């Protein structure tokens, strides 16, 4: 068995390293030539990923080879596709990267090969789109090859331990594909579960995201109510939570590539079918989370009004604009959106972020400041406003 991992990003590279560490030859394909060179020289491009350095040093250039060329993976018999699925501003997925990956795999696909998709996708992407691309390019028919879906469940920073311990599911587009994929993945994923179809496996990943999004929305709503009643939400949450109660943490909303996107895959699928009554809670949660920046903007303005200066002269520092603390990523960051909203309102808004330098902030069209030089600092991760000058 020789495995090709298509896409050596935050999810793909840890997987490739774990497969290599399980004793298999791995060919990682990534269009970024420089990244491939780095990996082949034993340099880990994701140093914040615990345990990855070690695996890269041990296997890179030996049984883990990175390459920008699909033909280098031609002798592989397992292809794991784990490339990004980007969405446009209306959350419509842009399948071009995915299609390109599958068509390229199709070009080198042989009888008996297994293709597995790990990217989170709208329902039925594997059985309809991926199958179509592979069949078109390879001239083979499903049955000649196997096709399955197994959602990545990594969490940036903990990917290696997740792959080694966390439950992972796999489902085939037909029965044989499910069995084949289960037997294959079992060789490098210890905690593996076979589900009845690729479609179920796709759905599993999406509903996990919906659970998160709705529960963050609930935490945000309860936080607002608590604040109105002069109740410390965090104290109430601490004692409300137990074995059967899992109230999440409030926030400025939900950012990143995952949670804010996945509910839309189900929402749009239902809208296509005219089933608007099937997505009321998912839509409300999305709206509520996205609107949290308005709530916080109002809170910040109320603090600014305590300062003896015209409102538009008060120096506001938004501390933390990445979507998550410690992750240098602005995609759908509500913290970044909050800073932009305050600027739009005509407030004298500055930004500070420990992951971003002054120049990087300025390139985003925002003003940079050290927090202690501002009049009011809003910490987006702690949800705390501090008035430094009256």
| Residues with catalytic function | 205, 258
- Distance of closest approach, residue 280 Cβ to a copy of itself, in angstroms: 6
Q: Any contact of residue 284 with a copy of itself (CB under 8 A)?
A: yes
- Distance of closest approach, residue 228 Cβ to a copy of itself, in angstroms: 6
> By CB under 8 A, what part of segment 157-186 binds a copy of itself?
166-167, 169
Q: Any contact of residue 280 with a copy of itself (CB under 8 A)?
A: yes
Q: Any contact of residue 247 with a copy of itself (CB under 8 A)?
A: yes
Which positions from 369 to 388 touch a copy of itself by CB under 8 A, shown as an x/- string?
--------------------
Which residues make Cβ contacts (< 8 Å) with residue 44, sequence separation at least 6?
52, 53, 56, 57
> By CB under 8 A, what part of segment 105-134 binds a copy of itself?
123-124
Q: Binding-site residue total for a copy of itself (CB under 8 A)?
A: 59
Write the CA distances from 207 to 82, 256, 357, integer angstroms. Answer: 19, 17, 37
237 or 334, CB closer to a copy of itself? 237
40 or 227, CB closer to a copy of itself? 227
31 or 204, CB closer to a copy of itself? 204
**Other residues' Cβ atoms within 10 Å of the Cβ of residue 297:** 22
CA nearest to 106, candidates 141, 82, 72: 141
- Binding segment (CB under 8 A) for a copy of itself, from list 8-16, 222-230, 316-324, 339-347: 222-230
Q: Any contact of residue 221 with a copy of itself (CB under 8 A)?
A: yes
The Cα–Cα gap between 276 and 266 comes to 11
Q: Which of 97, 140, 270, 364 binds a copy of itself (CB under 8 A)?
A: 270
Q: Which residues pair with 151 in a beta bridge?
A: none
- Distance of closest approach, residue 238 Cβ to a copy of itself, in angstroms: 9
Q: Any contact of residue 228 with a copy of itself (CB under 8 A)?
A: yes
55 or 206, CB closer to a copy of itself? 206
The Cα angle at residue 66 between residues 63 and 67, in degrees rounded to 5:
130
Q: Which of 65, 101, 109, 279 binds a copy of itself (CB under 8 A)?
A: 279
Q: Any contact of residue 298 with a copy of itself (CB under 8 A)?
A: no
- Binding segment (CB under 8 A) for a copy of itself, from list 7-15, 76-84, 191-199, 309-317: 191-199
Q: Which of 40, 174, 215, 385 binds a copy of itself (CB under 8 A)?
A: 215
Q: Any contact of residue 232 with a copy of itself (CB under 8 A)?
A: yes
- Binding segment (CB under 8 A) for a copy of itself, from list 37-45, 74-82, 197-205, 346-354: 197-205
Q: Which of 200, 301, 387, 388 binds a copy of itself (CB under 8 A)?
A: 200
- Distance of closest approach, residue 185 Cβ to a copy of itself, in angstroms: 14
Which residues contribute to the site for a copy of itself (CB under 8 A)?
123-124, 166-167, 169, 193, 195-197, 199-200, 203-205, 207-208, 210-212, 214-215, 217-218, 221-222, 224-226, 228-232, 235-237, 239-240, 242, 244-247, 266, 269-270, 273, 275, 277-282, 284-285, 287-288, 291
């Amino acid at each position: 068995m020789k495995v090709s991992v298509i896409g050596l990003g935050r999810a793909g590279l840890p997987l490739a390293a774990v497969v290599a560490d399980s004793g298999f030859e791995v060919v990682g394909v990534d269009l970024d030539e420089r990244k491939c060179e780095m990996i082949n020289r034993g340099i880990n491009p994701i140093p914040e990923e615990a345990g990855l350095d070690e695996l890269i040093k041990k296997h890179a250039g030996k049984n883990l080879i990175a390459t920008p060329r699909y033909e280098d993976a031609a002798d592989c018999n397992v292809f794991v596709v784990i490339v990004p699925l980007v969405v446009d501003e209306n959350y419509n997925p842009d399948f071009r990267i995915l299609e390109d990956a599958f068509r390229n795999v199709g070009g080198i696909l042989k009888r008996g090969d297994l293709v597995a998709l790990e990217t989170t996708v709208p329902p039925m992407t594997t059985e309809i789109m991926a199958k179509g691309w592979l069949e078109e390019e390879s001239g083979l028919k499903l049955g000649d090859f196997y096709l399955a879906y197994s959602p990545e469940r990594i969490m940036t920073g903990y990917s290696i331990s997740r792959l080694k311990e966390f439950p992972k599911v796999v489902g085939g587009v037909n029965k044989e594909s499910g069995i084949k994929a289960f037997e294959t993945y079992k060789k490098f994923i210890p905690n593996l579960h076979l589900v009845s179809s690729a479609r179920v496996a796709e759905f599993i990943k999406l509903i996990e995201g919906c659970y998160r999004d709705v529960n963050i929305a609930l935490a945000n709503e309860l936080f607002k109510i608590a604040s109105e009643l002069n109740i410390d939400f965090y104290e109430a949450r601490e004692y409300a939570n137990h074995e059967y109660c899992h109230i999440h943490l409030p926030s400025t909303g939900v950012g990143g590539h995952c949670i804010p996107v996945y509910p839309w895959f189900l929402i749009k699928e239902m809208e296509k079918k005219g089933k608007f009554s099937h997505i009321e809670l998912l839509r409300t949660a999305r709206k509520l989370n996205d609107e949290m920046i308005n709530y916080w903007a109002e809170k910040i303005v109320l603090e600014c009004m305590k300062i003896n200066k015209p409102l538009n002269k008060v120096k506001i520092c938004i501390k933390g604009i990445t979507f998550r603390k410690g992750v240098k990523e602005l995609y759908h960051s509500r913290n970044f959106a909050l800073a932009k909203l305050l600027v739009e309102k005509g407030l004298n808004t500055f930004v500070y972020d420990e992951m971003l330098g002054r120049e990087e902030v300025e390139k985003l069209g925002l003003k940079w400041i050290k927090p202690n030089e501002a009049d009011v600092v809003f910490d987006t991760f702690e949800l705390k406003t501090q008035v430094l000058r009256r």
